[in-house]
Structure 1
């Protein structure tokens, strides 16, 4: 009997090998160019072993498929198709959207708040919730929330003014600085909480909410291993990409705020939570925006908004410090607009700052919040102009990072040049080679809010301060290899110097 087990091992090994390689002929059978995968890892070994950051890896993969409109690759044993051609991207994201209505989601044992986030909803459920939420980001609703954001901008200015003087500079880690500004914005606009984290970094909301992405490294490794190797078990294991303590805390904050506002009209605020509550009351049934769905959208507001806005501000300030001529031009425009508006910065004034907007757009090109956009094929689809049929359930990847660094669309892509976004320059390229917030019906619903809040922060920075490299500034900086999100390994350190005329 003892020897019988040993005799079984070769058979078990063969079965395991077959299981993890049986999909590797998928793209060959369809006549699609692909890179030969390796067992267990597919084509993502360097990423799985944390040899490269997610953004660097996606850029490298894009370059490997140079000359191809589309190509196949494998994430573990799962086949995915990279779409590199702008016209095919238009078909997938917009014209033939009914074939790609869903985003790929991981089958983890999620809380109801994560399951009901807009980004995780599918099919008709997603359409219904999106239709209800879209009006909360109209120009009129953004104007209603503007005063809350302006207050956070003034707090940022006051904090910088008190920690700098006219003769000396103060060194800041910019992700931390702008992370606290962004936390204030989202706490106020999505949760109805005034926390002023710049002055009170140890406030309960700030401390717990800012830990949403704090997951031990071993937990991350285990998460990736389960998803790639034994995804069937994922929904049975207590795995999550988010800190569960933070999720529960945020859900409780929203629940309490929701009850207070529903029981008293005196607690109304012009914020996202109020807009969602108002929208839910207009719905004839409770199936679209029930309690779990309302809480989920507020939590999503934090998760998506915090990273997007704080990262954009961090790398915008980094590029301004390295390109003083760009910083001077942006400051000149800001001061001229403020002067025309008696020092104030209403919503209309923000729209009158095209150069500052182009600075932000160029920052998003070089440092896109997401390295790629993914869609799931929901009904069988034949790529236009080819005989390649995509099967239901398989993923297509739009390589945002690769497109943003393709010299065919953006000459000298490593150069920071806001003039790429002048109207005449934009006309020279397809709109589907620049997608920092995605494109089509499933694009980022909060794009306009993110741009409004980041513009306000930049206005308050530029009108009173100069950012310069510090002894800790790394050029180039190193990407963090242990994060799915865009982060600098050692932070982005800059000097902030007060302009003498600042008040």
Structure 2
């Protein structure tokens, strides 16, 4: 009996020791490579909010950023057990995104998905690597030219007018409850993207939930499952060799492949030559002999890029305008002064309104859609620290770019928590002055900057202009007064949601 107990205790001690060794194996990984390492804990690594859920992980990033940015260009961190390098210096950020692009060509997510597990997402330019990414980028860029976006602009204006009618109807129903603005603009982006890209109406402003709207929402409900997979992957990095994550649910993939095929068949029957996105896809299909699933992956690139970014941008821009009544009045004046004889903003005018542009980019600074980027080292190279020491970055090392931290650094942006669109006006250097310094990263930067950026900005500006000219926007009491980020998301959005009141300008 005693011998059995001793054997059991010994085995338990060995197992406990092995588990402890497993959990603490990388605790001093970066120190062994000769650089500072942020304080890291067994099990949770450098980012305890990953597990505590008491605040957004961006605030863990910010704590590390502020603690080390003055003395270091980069610092080692652990995401659970997985070592990653956090870059702190804007010039180095610019170097990684632009000048040394060949050494940081790919995004880390490319290691976590493949065509077998998720054909559509694996063929998104954000995920593709090497020559495949270059080929896909070459295919997509011609579909996003200013001329094609201009051709789709009348559709956007029509959707904006339907949006205005929908808000007026819902305001009568909701009364003092306010409107869930995120939900509102998920409907808008679903409608405008499906009409501009597929040439079909999603009926997102109807009482019943349309299949396109419902299925597009499903895509982003998967972010929590994807988050859980990333947690597991942080503990067991080798997991991605054996199991790849599906970002697009199978039923959503099947729905959009079927929808794209129906759209293609209908366009063939109509035999019309339009300078829109779906027509470009058909031309591409004929030239390259690509399959319908491949065409669908192109279509989904437009939908995913336009859906989330546009919704986030519009929602938080209107939130900030609602809080700052003087800025809202100034923007309304700019819009009204530039309306044409038909009471609309032309595509050229919309693209060139300086205060509208400044308001939108200031909102994207405060609430960046992507809080941090993960780049993959594709060629062994060297990074120089502030003290002149050199780190040899190995192939497949992961580099973290803290977009949120840079956007909220008071040494870069004076009073960063305040909504000050004037900092992005042309007379103050405009957006370019910040992008050139590597401190504005709402869409990434360099050759892999978001391909749908121009399209997303046009749809965002059109909706914001339509709302501001027609409504006086005020924060509903259900909306918090600060800029606290929601706890459980990698996307920059306000905790508790954005609820706004819309009062018709005509009634004032």
TM value normalised by structure 1:
0.90
Residue of structure 2 aligned with 1:443, choices 449, 461, 466: 449
- Look up the match of 1:90: 94
| Residues in 2 aligned to 1:457 and 1:32: alpha-carbon distance in whole angstroms | 47
- Report the 3-state secondary structure (helix = DSSP H, G, I; strand = E; otherwise coil) of the residue aligned with 2:178: strand
- Look up the match of 1:296: 297
Matched, 1:366 2:372: no
Kept after mapping to 2: 8 A contact 1:47/1:57: no
| Superposition deviation, residue 319 in structure 1 | 0.6
| Superposition deviation, residue 125 in structure 1 | 0.7
Residue of structure 2 aligned with 1:404, choices 402, 407, 412: 407
| Residues in 1 aligned to 2:39 and 2:61: alpha-carbon distance in whole angstroms | 17
Counterpart mapping for 1:137-152 below 5 A: 137-152=144-159
| Superposition deviation, residue 34 in structure 1 | 1.5
Query: 1:395-445, CA deviations, whole angstroms, 9 ceiling, x for partnerless residues?
Result: 111111000000111011111100011224337655311111000001101
| Superposition deviation, residue 45 in structure 1 | 2.0
Change (3 A) 1:323 1:148: same
Matched, 1:99 2:103: yes
Matched, 1:136 2:143: yes
- Look up the match of 2:383: 383
Kept after mapping to 2: 8 A contact 1:117/1:293: no
Counterpart mapping for 1:5-16 below 5 A: 6-16=9-19
Matched, 1:468 2:478: no
Change (3 A) 1:169 1:36: closer
| Superposition deviation, residue 90 in structure 1 | 1.8
| Superposition deviation, residue 365 in structure 1 | 0.6
| Superposition deviation, residue 104 in structure 1 | 0.2
- Report the 3-state secondary structure (helix = DSSP H, G, I; strand = E; otherwise coil) of the residue aligned with 2:107: coil
| Residues in 1 aligned to 2:321 and 2:494: alpha-carbon distance in whole angstroms | 17
Query: 1:325-377, CA deviations, whole angstroms, 9 ceiling, x for partnerless residues?
Result: 00000000000110x45412221121231101100010001000001122100
Kept after mapping to 1: 8 A contact 2:143/2:280: yes
Change (3 A) 1:11 1:334: same
| Residues in 1 aligned to 2:372 and 2:171: alpha-carbon distance in whole angstroms | 39
| Superposition deviation, residue 27 in structure 1 | 1.5
Kept after mapping to 2: 8 A contact 1:58/1:371: no
Kept after mapping to 1: 8 A contact 2:91/2:437: no
- Report the 3-state secondary structure (helix = DSSP H, G, I; strand = E; otherwise coil) of the residue aligned with 1:213: helix
- Report the 3-state secondary structure (helix = DSSP H, G, I; strand = E; otherwise coil) of the residue aligned with 2:45: coil
| Residues in 2 aligned to 1:12 and 1:382: alpha-carbon distance in whole angstroms | 40
Query: 1:278-306, CA deviations, whole angstroms, 9 ceiling, x for partnerless residues?
Result: 234334xx5xx544332123223222321
- Look up the match of 1:232: 238
- Report the 3-state secondary structure (helix = DSSP H, G, I; strand = E; otherwise coil) of the residue aligned with 1:245: helix
- Look up the match of 2:398: 395
| Superposition deviation, residue 212 in structure 1 | 1.8
Change (3 A) 1:222 1:408: closer
Extract unaligned runs of 5+ from structure 1. none
Residue of structure 2 aligned with 1:275, choices 271, 274, 280: 280
- Report the 3-state secondary structure (helix = DSSP H, G, I; strand = E; otherwise coil) of the residue aligned with 1:149: helix
| Residues in 2 aligned to 1:58 and 1:247: alpha-carbon distance in whole angstroms | 34
Counterpart mapping for 1:50-449 below 5 A: 50-67=53-70, 68-105=72-109, 106-108=111-113, 110-164=117-171, 171-215=178-222, 219=225, 222-234=228-240, 236=242, 239-261=245-267, 263-266=268-271, 270-283=275-288, 286=289, 290-338=291-339, 340-384=340-384, 386-426=389-429, 430-449=436-455
Change (3 A) 1:268 1:12: farther
| Residues in 1 aligned to 2:125 and 2:327: alpha-carbon distance in whole angstroms | 37
Kept after mapping to 2: 8 A contact 1:163/1:170: no
| Residues in 2 aligned to 1:487 and 1:82: alpha-carbon distance in whole angstroms | 22
| Superposition deviation, residue 159 in structure 1 | 2.0
| Residues in 2 aligned to 1:491 and 1:294: alpha-carbon distance in whole angstroms | 35
| Superposition deviation, residue 447 in structure 1 | 0.6
TM value normalised by structure 2:
0.90
| Superposition deviation, residue 5 in structure 1 | 5.2
| Residues in 1 aligned to 2:451 and 2:459: alpha-carbon distance in whole angstroms | 15
Extract unaligned runs of 5+ from structure 2. none
- Look up the match of 2:494: 488
Kept after mapping to 1: 8 A contact 2:118/2:246: no
| Superposition deviation, residue 74 in structure 1 | 0.9
Change (3 A) 1:255 1:236: farther
| Superposition deviation, residue 44 in structure 1 | 1.6
Alignment coverage as a number of residue pairs: 493
Query: 1:27-70, CA deviations, whole angstroms, 9 ceiling, x for partnerless residues?
Result: 21332121132222211222233222233333333223231221
Kept after mapping to 2: 8 A contact 1:192/1:269: no
| Superposition deviation, residue 24 in structure 1 | 3.1
Change (3 A) 1:272 1:5: farther
After TM superposition, the runs of 4+ consecutive aligned structure 1 residues lying more than 6 A away are: none
- Report the 3-state secondary structure (helix = DSSP H, G, I; strand = E; otherwise coil) of the residue aligned with 1:409: coil
CA-based RMSD of the aligned residues comes to 2.6
- Report the 3-state secondary structure (helix = DSSP H, G, I; strand = E; otherwise coil) of the residue aligned with 1:306: helix
